[in-house]
């Protein structure tokens, strides 16, 4: 395990995290397009909304799975108790490293920043459409 990430999904964790981040971003864009698309036609708005909801189901299912795995590692290996007692062995340190690496590889921070920016842009855009047009 030295130096090479072996996280929640093993060697492919960084790739899985990137794919799921993109799914979250695409779903977020699709959701924010619903109102502008409703001006063109309700069918387009509905398609965008359903597409976004399906992507969110995939994204949040993945996020729940990752959080459950992290918590299970901590609980199953009594890592909190062992850190308090100062009784960590090599295997415990590897488990902690797995959790820390999964947090570092996670694209959640980038995803949240993108969601904030895209939400502000679409909010301004929709206000422009509603007020000016």
pLDDT tens across 87-113, in order? 889 888 888 888 877 777 777 778 778
Q: What digits encode the pLDDT tens for the residues 48-63?
A: 999 999 998 888 888 8
Q: Does 4 score more than 80 pLDDT?
A: no
Residues 6+ apart with CB under 8 A from 126: 35, 36
Q: What pTM, to 2 d.p., does this model score?
A: 0.68
Distance CA 102, CA 132 (A): 46
């Amino acid at each position: 395990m030295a130096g090479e990430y072996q996280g929640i999904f093993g060697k492919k964790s960084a790739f899985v995290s990137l794919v799921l981040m993109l799914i979250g971003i695409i779903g977020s864009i699709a959701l924010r397009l619903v109102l502008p698309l409703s001006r063109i036609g309700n069918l387009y708005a509905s398609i965008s909304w359903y597409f976004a909801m399906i992507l969110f189901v995939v994204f949040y299912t993945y996020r729940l799975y990752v959080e459950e795995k992290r918590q299970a590692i901590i609980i199953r290996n009594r890592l909190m108790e062992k850190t308090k007692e100062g009784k960590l062995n090599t295997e415990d340190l590897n488990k902690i490293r797995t959790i820390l690496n999964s947090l570092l590889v996670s694209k959640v921070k980038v995803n949240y920043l993108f969601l904030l920016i895209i939400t502000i842009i679409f909010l301004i855009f929709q206000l422009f459409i509603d007020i000016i047009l």
